Structure 1
Amino acid sequence: MSETLPRIVIVGAGPAGIRAAAMLVEAGLHPVVIDEGHQAGGQIYRRPPAGFTRTAKHLYGSEAAKAIALHALFDRLAEEGRLTHFAASSAIAVHEGRLHVLGEGGVQAIFHDRLILATGASDRVAPVPGWQSAGVYSLGAAQIALKAQGVALGQRSVLIGSGPLLTLVGAQLVKAGADMAAVLDTSSRHQQMQGLWDLAARPLVALRGLVLRARLGRRYHAGVTLERIEADGNGVTAMRWRDAGGREHLTLCDTIGMGWHLRAETHLADLAGCAFTYDDQWRQWLPRTDRMGRAGNGVYLAGDGVHLLGADGAEIAGRLAAAACLADLGLPTPSISADLRKLARLKRFARGLARAFPWPAAMARALPDDAVVCRCENVTAASLRESTEFGGGEANRVKSLSRVGMGRCQGRYCQLAAVELIAAQTGCTSGAVGRFRGQAPVRPAPIGAFLREG
């Protein structure tokens, strides 16, 4: 790579990162791409190991052509030496123009002039009494097991939550032959109709979702109330719930997958100094950028890590972030007007999803005292409420007193529910509670890796 060229580092090789890299390469630059996967594709287009016999159509359904095209594009650029790809590597910190990356050889510091964060999102989960039991997974974990290894977790499953991923994973598991006992959606049919107008912005996608739901048949139940996950010493035994009419059910199972749409992965953006705004629509803190993804200080954000718009939106956001980077470097940029129009339509669709399948704030706020909120540190709702009484309604003060969010996931699973509990206890809004500050390393890292830092 020429010493005169600016060094641009991209974190994430999903749809956003791939499109950003391709545009930079087209402009004559040589980006460095950091990704936790062994191959590019991200979570949505995750690739199976070599020799895997299931076809792309089976893995990605109606998105198979897009997945194949993105995989081929990135692989070609890497093989031609037009970008540098650090696979199976985690960006764990960013400070003063250096990205600290954990790989097989330890931690190395990679200097950058510009940084594009395409970190994606993870499952947004809400605590349910008993969710700390063995056999409880996120929907994403269930999907990864199916895509990467062709296996269904457990012998008899129940899926709980709300949103498109709930239906998609359920349909994928049913198609693969898994024994799916029930798919329990906390959003009522009436609530889902509230988002219909905005969902019409992408009618084919909405119709595809309805088709997937139809495949679930009587397994699917809307407007449910989740009571408790029953378990014994070996793990999950059943899901206790009430249907929309208030009737109680006990569904036997040995595995539960859970998720309420997505939670933006923002830890690196926080360490990079990005500003945040509480989004009432998604009920979470999201980084603040301009329409191109500029976050200031040479940092650009793209994909679900800033806007929860799915794979198509991520591709567009990746191109926009790269175009903004090129413009700021004084280099020619392609026309972006068409992408901006598409992005506006996708944002309208996303508003419909948020309205139709809302985060279960009331359920989180009403957790019984003995329910575990933070699985990493075994912090109960009672402990969190007590810490709130001592520390007031500020997220990080409560965190320091209760240890909520201090485990290996750094609040990825518990923060949103913890904020709801704090807000309910103090009588303020969730936005007023604030957010947990990001801490390095943003992923668990062995001490020995730092001893080999170079």
Structure 2
Amino acid sequence: MGRHVVVVGAGPAGLGAASGALRAGARVTLLDAAERPGGQIHRTAPVELGGPRLELAWPGLAWWAESSVWAFERSGDGAPLVHVLRGGERFALEPDALVLAPGAHDRVLPFPGWDLPGVYTAGAAQALAKGECLAVGEKVVVAGSGPFLLPVAASLLEAGSRVVEVLEANPASTVLRGWGRPPWQVSKVGELAGYAALLARHRVPVRMGRTVVEARGDGRVEEVVTARLRADWSVVPGSERSHAVDAVCVSHGFSPRLELAVAAGCAVDGFVRVDGDQRTSAAGVFAAGEVTGIAGAPAAKAEGLLAGWIAGGGSPRVPALRRRRDQGRAFARRLAAAHPIGDAWKEWLRPGTVVCRCEEATYGDLCRAAGDQAANAPRAVRLATRAGLGPCQGRVCGPTVAEILGSPPAHHRPIAQPIRLGELAAPVREATPDER
């Protein structure tokens, strides 16, 4: 068979990339840390590869489940060697092209009490509801920013929770101005109408310009304090209200998973920088999906198809596919304009508010370290407070710490994923023909 393409990530973008590369005649190795393909969006729905249902025995496709890419190694001008940990064994794959589609994860801004049991990221709550049919609580508030709050509320209702209210932090004026005038994507409008109808049937109010600024409870969440916000997300004095709840689900947008892209040498400016063919600045490396911009599953799939097709040696003349990709990029720009994070969110914090949960570094710790003239460089502050140096390696708190310190997030690590010393010392095993 022709070229060998390694695709990292089996969400919509990765599945699209695998489909595109196979259609171009390439041999594909599809990797994901999860047991099943599909990513967050296809947790329970039938998984598709391009158009047809994904068959793991598709000719030319090797599906590597529960596999982690922990490092890259360059030995020439082509795609890097891909070091993979699978089942406790080390492998090294030598692709002709590499497509990175690791996706993104929820971003949650800290607030007093956000570390109490009963505070969930919206994505985790949805995963439990969709994947396990488990409700995170009986009375739940869903808060943050972005259209993702609506399907999360819908999933909670279907799992049996009572959703007290859905809170969008941005005022209606910001949201409407960001989305602008038509044309809008018909599918998105229909999806929004469906969620709105479901929430209306359950009498769930959706409030704009309001969010959760504190969670309270003895050992777990018992109530939340919500407040009205100005456009910059500063709190309107006297607008605070308390609600008795046993869970709160929060999402302030998404953070792209940039560790692998940075380890591969790709240029990053908040997202992975790609050209019109989804090529990154690193030779032989393509990127697709939410690492290049948050735009939802259809846009990620279109980017993946284009990246995989060209990585697999297909003709770059695919105008219909490029139009779909460009529509997704336009949607991403509107989404970012309609649901920005206001600069004044840090006013919610108190000195004792935990910012880095791994190392229990507080907002006061960061402020004191940043005010020390002898060691006020961002790196010195992180070393002094250990913020971002815990087990998650800053994946959760990294953007928040960077905003507090006024510095760019730190992503670069030679080893992109945790690996045991015994695994690191073990010899590299060659993949058998069945595994390729």
* TM-score greater than 0.5 by the shorter chain: yes
In terms of fraction of residues, the more helix-rich structure is: 1
Q: Is the 8 A contact 2:263 2:416 kept in 1?
A: no
Whole-angstrom distance in 2 between the partners of 1:206 and 1:368: 39
Residues 30 and 365 (structure 1 numbering): CA distance in 2 closer, same or farther, change over 3 Å? Answer: farther
- Asked whether the 8 Å contact 1:200–1:206 carries over to 2, the reply is no
Instruction: Report the AA paired with residue 450 of structure 1.
Output: L
Task: Find the aligned partners of 1:94 and 1:139 in 2 and give their Cα distance.
Answer: 32
Match status 1:306 vs 2:289: no
| d(CA) in 2 for partners of 1:437, 1:393 | 20
Structure 1 residues 416 and 105: CA distance shift in structure 2, 3 A = closer
**Aligned residue in 2 for 1:24:** 21
Q: Tell me the residue number matched to 2:275.
A: 290
Question: What percentage of aligned pairs have identical amino acids?
Answer: 31
- The TM-score, its normalising length taken from structure 2, stands at 0.87
Contact residue 71 and residue 416 of structure 2 kept, 8 A: yes
Q: Cα 1:180–1:298, aligned 2, differ >3 Å: closer, same or farther? A: same
- In structure 2, the partner of 1:389 is 371
The aligned counterpart of 2:114 is: 131
Return 5+ residue gaps in structure 2 as ranges: 75-79, 230-235, 429-436
Q: For this pair of structures, how many residues does the alignment match?
A: 411
1:443 pairs with 2:422 = no
Indicate which of 220, 244, 248 corresponds to 2:206. 220
User: Are the equivalent residues in 2 in contact too, given 1:393–1:422 (CA < 8 A)?
Assistant: no
- Structure 1 residue corresponding to 2:324, chosen from 339, 342, 362: 342
Other-structure match for 1:80: 58
Return the alpha-carbon distance in structure 1 between the equivalents of residues 423 and 51 of structure 2. 33
Shift of 1:133: 1.4
Q: Which amino acid aligns with 1:405?
A: G
Quote the residue 2:77 is aligned against. none
- C-alpha spacing 1:322/1:291, structure 2 compared with 1 (3 Å): same
Matched to 2:409, the amino acid is R
SS at the partner of 1:286? coil
Aligned to 1:254: 246
Deviation at 1:372, TM superposition (A): 1.0
Choose the corresponding residue for 1:315, options 301, 311, 320: 301
CA contact (8 A) 2:27 2:60 kept: yes
Q: RCO higher in 1 or 2 (8 Å CA, sep ≥ 6)?
A: 2
| 1:389, distance to aligned residue in structure 2 (A) | 2.6
The 1-side partners of 2:314 and 2:310 are apart by 10
* Cα displacement (A) at 1:318: 0.8
**AA matched with 2:242:** L
Q: Say whether the 8 Å CA contact 1:395–1:436 is kept in structure 2.
A: no
- Measured after TM superposition, the shift of residue 410 of structure 1 is 1.9
Distance 1:211 1:240 in 2: 29
1:70 pairs, out of 49, 54, 64, with: 49
Q: Sort the Cα spacing of 1:299 and 1:174 in 2 relative to 1 into closer, same or farther, 3 A.
A: same
CA distance in 2, matches of 1:201, 1:449: 50
CA RMSD, Structure 1 to Structure 2 (Å): 2.4
Residues 190 and 292 of structure 1, relative CA distance in 2, 3 Å threshold: same
- Is the Cα–Cα contact under 8 Å of residues 264 and 305 in structure 1 kept in the other structure? yes
Say if 1:159 and 1:340 are closer, same or farther in 2 by CA, change over 3 A.
Answer: same
Measure the CA separation in 1 of the matches of 2:302 and 2:137: 37
Do the aligned partners of residues 26 and 207 (structure 1) sit closer, same or farther apart at CA in structure 2, a change above 3 Å counting? closer
TM-score, scaled relative to structure 1: 0.83
Letter in 2 for 1:226: V
Q: Offset of 1:453 from its aligned partner?
A: 4.9
Decide which moves more: 177-186 or 374-383: 177-186
Contact preservation (8 Å) 1:106, 1:448: no
State the 1:81 CA deviation.
3.7
1:126-161, Cα deviation, whole Å (9 max, x unpaired): 111111112222111111111211111233322221
Q: 1:80 to 1:211 in 2, by over 3 A?
A: closer
Aligned positions of 1:141-220 closer than 5 A: 141-197=124-180, 200-216=183-199, 217-220=203-206
Which of 413, 417, 420 is 2:400 aligned to? 417
1:50-81: per-residue Cα shift (whole Å, max 9, x none)?
xxxxxx4xxxxxxxxxx5543984632x3134
**Is contact 2:20–2:306 with CA below 8 Å preserved after alignment?**
no
Question: In structure 2, which of residues 345, 358, 370 is the aligned counterpart of residue 363 of structure 1?
Answer: 345
Aligned partner of 1:53 in structure 2 is none
Where in structure 2 are the equivalents of 1:87-106 lying within 5 Å? Answer: 87-96=65-74, 97-106=80-89
The 5-angstrom pairing of residues 8-47 of structure 1 reads 8-47=5-44
Q: Deviations over 1:243-287 (max 9, x none)?
A: 46743221122222111121111110000011112xxxxxxx112
Structure 2 residue identity aligned to 1:90: S
Match of 2:264 among 263, 268, 272: 272
Go from structure 1 to structure 2 and tell me whether the alpha carbon gap of 1:438 and 1:199 turns closer, same or farther (over 3 Å shift): farther
